[in-house]
Amino acid sequence: MPATRDYGGPSLGVGRSGRRVLAAVAGLGLVGAAAVVVSNEVFQFRDDSRAWPRTGAPCPTIGPRLVARTLALHGLSVRYRVNVGGAEFGRAFGDGDCGMAPSGVGWSYAPACRFDAPALVTVRTAHGETYFLTGLGRAVTAFAGADGAHCYLAPVAGAATS
């Protein structure tokens, strides 16, 4: 009797070309998902940069001795203090909104606060304490970056811009 080989019944497995198509579809799906994540991050960073502008006139800085003398003369103190990301922000008056804002260097974020009418802003970082005399009724945005503290006065409503 002649020998016959039994290879079994027909299989429903995926062939070589089917695996390649499946790998290509999975790869495209991963690339698409990564593109969505990156574009969301770019849009979020752009929105954050608009919400925390680094524009306007720089706030005038004053020394610690003059701060103590001015506060004592007017019977004031830096009553409101908040710690954000390792930096301490203080103000004499008004309301504040603090958080992490684009640092102005690459895609990194740094502690920042917006104040509506602080009169005086203090920012304490690892570099020391900086005092900004902002004046009454002026909104400001203060940043605590790796290179120290920065503060910007908001433009006065109705003022001419050049």
pLDDT given at position 18: 75
Q: How far apart are CA 121 and CA 93, in angstroms?
A: 9
Query: What is the Cβ-side half-sphere exposure of residue 82, based on CA atoms within 13 angstroms?
Result: 19
pLDDT given at position 93: 85
pLDDT given at position 13: 55
pLDDT given at position 46: 57
pLDDT given at position 55: 78
Residue count (the chain): 162
Residue 150 φ/ψ, nearest 5 degrees: -135, 150
Residue from 109, 75, 85, 82 nearest 97 by CA: 82
Kindly calculate the radius of gyration of the chain based on its CA atoms and give it in whole angstroms.
29
Per-run averaged pLDDT (10 residues), the chain, 162 residues: 63 67 78 65 56 81 87 81 92 88 75 90 91 87 88 73 48
Q: How far apart are CA 82 and CA 126, in angstroms?
A: 15
pLDDT given at position 162: 46
Q: What is the reported pTM?
A: 0.66
Contacts of 92 (CB under 8 A, 6+ apart): 71, 76, 77, 78, 79, 80, 118, 119, 120
Residue from 45, 61, 27 nearest 132 by CA: 61
Parse the chain into domains and list their residue ranges: 52-153
